[in-house]
Amino acid sequence: MKRSAFFLTALALSAAVVGCGGSDAPATQAGGDAPDATTAAPSALSLSVPEWYQIDEAARTVTLRITAGATNVQNYWNFNGFAKGSGASIIVPEGYAVTLEFTNQDPNMAHSVGIEEWRESNWPGSVEVSPEFPGAVSSNPGSLIDSTMPGESETLQFEVDRAGEYAMVCYVPGHATIGMFVKFVVSSDGTAGVMM
């Protein structure tokens, strides 16, 4: 119930923003919609289920296809084109088994992935490998030569047994500092999908 209401609200807000042609320049809008657009701006994200997120509610499983260097955002130091803990929050229901199919499409650079404690900023140059869920980290994650190299893939499996806010992060030195992390949320109310 709560989830549906939230979803509809988010959709409505999203539609309002789109209808106004964007929220970052309300002063240029000719009509009377500018105040609404300004109000909606902080909540302009909406929940959706992109093609890289598959959920089976009966089996309580989620499969995430996560690609490092999916786009050239941040010189390829991104996950599915997202970085800096903003733009997308991946939301998985508590108690689900997650299969994370990780691929590195950055033509130049090693990357890795794991689920760590959330932090919005001030990531250290070398992130300590301390995954929040057993199995939620790729192999040799801090190595420049032996983590997930360009063109390589690795599949992780883990169960998200504690609701909370976490970070999907790259452990290759300096990458998290630059912003190679995305918010990863384990919901306690069954919410599933990606806020973006």
Query: Where does this chain bind Cu ion (CB under 5 A)?
Result: 111, 170, 172, 175, 180
38 versus 140: smaller Cβ distance to Cu ion: 140
Query: How many Å apart are CA 196 and CA 190, to the nearest integer?
Result: 18
Which CB, 96 or 184, lies closer to Cu ion? 184
Return d(Cα 147, Cα 61) in angstroms, integer. Answer: 26
Least distance CB 156 / Cu ion (angstroms)? 15
Residue spans of beta strands (DSSP E) within the chain = 47-48, 53-56, 61-68, 89-93, 97-104, 114-117, 153-159, 164-169, 181-187, 193-195
> Using CB atoms, what's the residue nearest to Cu ion?
170
Closer by beta carbon to Cu ion, 126 or else 188: 126
Structure tokens at 106: 């950055």
Least spacing, CB of residue 77 vs Cu ion, in Å: 5
- Which C-beta is closer to Cu ion: that of 37 or that of 169? 169
Q: How many helical (H) and strand (E) elements, i.e. helices and strands, does the chain have?
A: 3, 10
CB of 150 to Cu ion, least distance (A): 11
Shortest gap between Cβ of 177 and Cu ion (angstroms)? 10
